[in-house]
Structure 1
């Protein structure tokens, strides 16, 4: 073990630390169901990729889904190929992104700062509730945050090593590799944001010569070889891909005001302060008496301040804001908090307070996961079919007037579901919701969409067939669809219900015309009404 200047501060070897980081992030990744819509959506797309065997085109309900690139789905599908559809495997891409960010921060600071600051910064980062929950959440934000962190820290390390005439090419190649991963994780921000951070840092520290590393041809070869083929393949297969993925999902989305979650410019300041407690409270503790300039590292400090500012300002500019967008700002914030904790204080006297804050932060992390598990699980995660009933091969599943992302995952469906809605009106809807996602995806495969997107007026054609259909909809859906009284109610949970409809053995096109009266409550089996 390598020891810092105080015998009380033991710094583990990097390999052991990385194992500990991943163990901590994995420890609670299995205890709660997937949340809707994000976790159900991204976990479902990864599972669909595995089921279909098409590892090139991400698909939502069988339709090409180009909101984001495929890296998250590749990792999730590979994990589920081993484990099956379980929650922690669906969250593994985020866990790996969090592990990459924490490991990169530790290794960078261990080399260019002090061992104790490297260790404390990493501990602060992984026990910050915002970071911990981000790594436990199956969407793309933490994965791209890990890629951005790796790119920034490897590029900065390459610039510092080159100045000292130390080996730098492997570090810079790694930065380009992480940038390629960032492109495949969430698109252009995986390249643009690290470039902005490094360019601003080079300008602020008068390292203008280091900017020439941005033109390093071997690095660009790495980036293009790793990230280029998927984008080229999609453009060749789908001519509208560039306009939709680059123009709409990047530039129009950034500039538009028609998307959800609109907030003011100030939004991320309270988010960062509140979701990083109790560590953020150290910002208000006065510095120690011996916090002199000799303890500072101006180049590293400026890198972290610039990194934090670039991420927060960039995502504060558009009107649409989601909390997870600023996850890439957490590694530099963790460094700045750790620096404030250590500022001019005796290490021996400080250690009990650091341990207490770490324990409190870890308890908050676990408590947040438990709270989310108790209060934020969508109905579809608990809409279980009763024992002895299951969707058989050849059966069809139809969702009425809504798409519940998590149900294909939890019902372990191997085929896309049918979705009933007013699809002509949905195609004109500009709101950012499930209808728009599926309508947009339908543009890339109209033939498949014609088979799975069922207009409300065509329900009889879909259901009056010699085939069993499992229906999912609101538990009040019978008011708008009286023919549901012909179906067997098999499960009800939190406003959502499932029915089994036997269809018509003769293919009678009028099988929905004459609804039956509802069966008396005493005639229904108690076991068919709830979640088991």
Structure 2
């Protein structure tokens, strides 16, 4: 019994248990709340459109509007999941959770290779309980698949460079190029830059760039990358000409360097003060960023192990992994909090490197810290389920369905939301003018629902308002149903 108690209190048990519990909590919650406007519902609707149209090459912003903003890998994964489990929130979000588990496994493998089992278990504690990592592990966004590619590239680079096992070297070096292909299909050149910068800077001293060229199979590896990734790019340009110019120039350069970039075809750019990425990092990587800052401060003051803490080659690699994305986005004018995600494995690995020999001294404090992110997920889910902070029209579409009408028209005055389109199976349409509404209502062969925001309904002509009765309200939206029977 004493041995069992000691085992339950050891990292050998605690780390996998915390990792498993964190992911199980996320698994249990991803199907409990609606897809949120704007981004998540937008990608959910793209997933639904991919399945409905059978077009697996071009992403569609609407039935007649191609989406050139991102490569399709994360939508492919969601679409495959929805084909297997039905078009719903759980199926659409599930691939991101599986991808996040794969990222954790890669970070664990890297820690195991370089530092040993103690550090590997600490990675299992830290990474899945980082707020941004756990939150985004249950969303339909491109960032988790991008992070998978970055983590694969950097893990494969390090092991492929340092391993003394020829078979292991060959495996990881070709995995490096597979990671590059995944990067191109997950996010494009941005993912390659974020993964390549730490490698390039790390290789600058001691003529390591020459060694890099000699060690890795660049010709065969590059051909492998192109073999995997280029067919989709070619097919996408052939199906919708203009894609390559918009994607590589607009999305990769103008979006970040041009303040208020007017070329964005799919919404407004997120203009923020220069340097905002650092504040986003401090908040998004909670609860672990304070520990990292304290360790850095003590190191600067020379109080770690009597000046024995050295920035060796391994630690330099991790610091570059951490700081290159943050510095890269420091001067960007369009930044959102998800841009912090690529640094999360580096945070976990740096802390694991520092704590691997002193786990027993900080065990209670570390374990208490791991509770925060899963607890936030539970609180967030409960609040969303009860309507707090919810940005979705799922409830309005459920009310429409409950009326039991045969093929009604679902009209949104002055613009639909992505969630309304997703939850109406694409039936919700936008009415952009009063004349458009009048023309639509002339067809009396069907009933019509009309959703309006704020007081837009009161500004409609009496001849239109008299045709509708209010049936529901949701936040600042009101749903009306025409009060004549369809013929």
TM-score, normalization: structure 2? Answer: 0.85
> Where does structure 2 lack aligned partners over 5 or more consecutive residues?
1-5, 262-268
Comparing 482-491 with 311-320, which one deviates more in the overlay? 482-491
Q: Which has the higher helix share?
A: 2
Q: For the residues of structure 1 that align with 2:246 and 2:404, how far apart are their CA atoms?
A: 38
Corresponding residue for residue 430 of structure 1: none
Give the Å deviation of 1:358: 2.2
Q: Deviations over 1:383-420 (max 9, x none)?
A: 23166424644x44332112211112223x1x454322
TM-score, normalization: structure 1? Answer: 0.78
Corresponding residue for residue 84 of structure 1: 86
Query: After the TM superposition, which residues 437-476 of structure 1 pair with which residues of structure 2 at under 5 Å, given as runs?
Result: 456-465=434-443, 466-476=445-455
Corresponding residue for residue 337 of structure 2: 323
Query: After the TM superposition, which residues 277-356 of structure 1 pair with which residues of structure 2 at under 5 Å, given as runs?
Result: 277-283=286-292, 284=294, 291=305, 298-342=312-356, 345=358, 347-356=359-368
User: Is the 1:263–1:319 Cα contact (8 Å) retained in structure 2?
Assistant: yes
Task: For residue 319 of structure 1, give the secondary structure of its aligned residue in structure 2.
Answer: coil
Task: For residue 207 of structure 1, give the secondary structure of its aligned residue in structure 2.
Answer: helix
User: Is the 1:151–1:179 Cα contact (8 Å) retained in structure 2?
Assistant: yes
Corresponding residue for residue 48 of structure 1: 49
Task: For residue 410 of structure 2, give the secondary structure of its aligned residue in structure 1.
Answer: strand
Corresponding residue for residue 265 of structure 2: none
Q: Deviations over 1:281-316 (max 9, x none)?
A: 323265898837877682221111001111111122
Q: For the residues of structure 2 that align with 1:245 and 1:504, how far apart are their CA atoms?
A: 48
Q: For the residues of structure 2 that align with 1:53 and 1:391, how far apart are their CA atoms?
A: 28
Give the Å deviation of 1:56: 1.9
The count of corresponding residues between Structure 1 and Structure 2 is 462
Query: After the TM superposition, which residues 71-470 of structure 1 pair with which residues of structure 2 at under 5 Å, given as runs?
Result: 71-161=73-163, 165=166, 167-204=168-205, 206-212=207-213, 216-259=218-261, 260-283=269-292, 284=294, 291=305, 298-342=312-356, 345=358, 347-371=359-383, 374-383=387-396, 384-385=398-399, 388-390=402-404, 392-393=406-407, 395-411=408-424, 413=425, 415=426, 417-421=428-432, 456-465=434-443, 466-470=445-449
Task: For residue 246 of structure 1, give the secondary structure of its aligned residue in structure 2.
Answer: helix
Task: For residue 27 of structure 1, give the secondary structure of its aligned residue in structure 2.
Answer: helix
Corresponding residue for residue 526 of structure 1: none
After the TM superposition, which parts of structure 1 deviate over 6 Å for at least 4 consecutive aligned residues? Answer: 12-21, 287-290, 292-297, 502-506
Give the Å deviation of 1:271: 2.0
Task: For residue 91 of structure 1, give the secondary structure of its aligned residue in structure 2.
Answer: helix
Matched, 1:478 2:457: yes
Give the Å deviation of 1:475: 4.8
Give the Å deviation of 1:332: 0.4
User: Is the 2:47–2:79 Cα contact (8 Å) retained in structure 1?
Assistant: yes
Q: For the residues of structure 1 that align with 2:235 and 2:207, how far apart are their CA atoms?
A: 41
Give the Å deviation of 1:319: 0.6
Given the superposition, is the C-alpha separation of residues 290 and 325 from structure 1 closer, same or farther in structure 2, using an over 3 Å criterion?
closer
> Where does structure 1 lack aligned partners over 5 or more consecutive residues?
1-5, 422-454, 507-532
Give the Å deviation of 1:491: 2.6
Q: What is the root-mean-square deviation in Å for CA atoms of aligned residues?
A: 3.2
User: Is the 1:97–1:144 Cα contact (8 Å) retained in structure 2?
Assistant: no
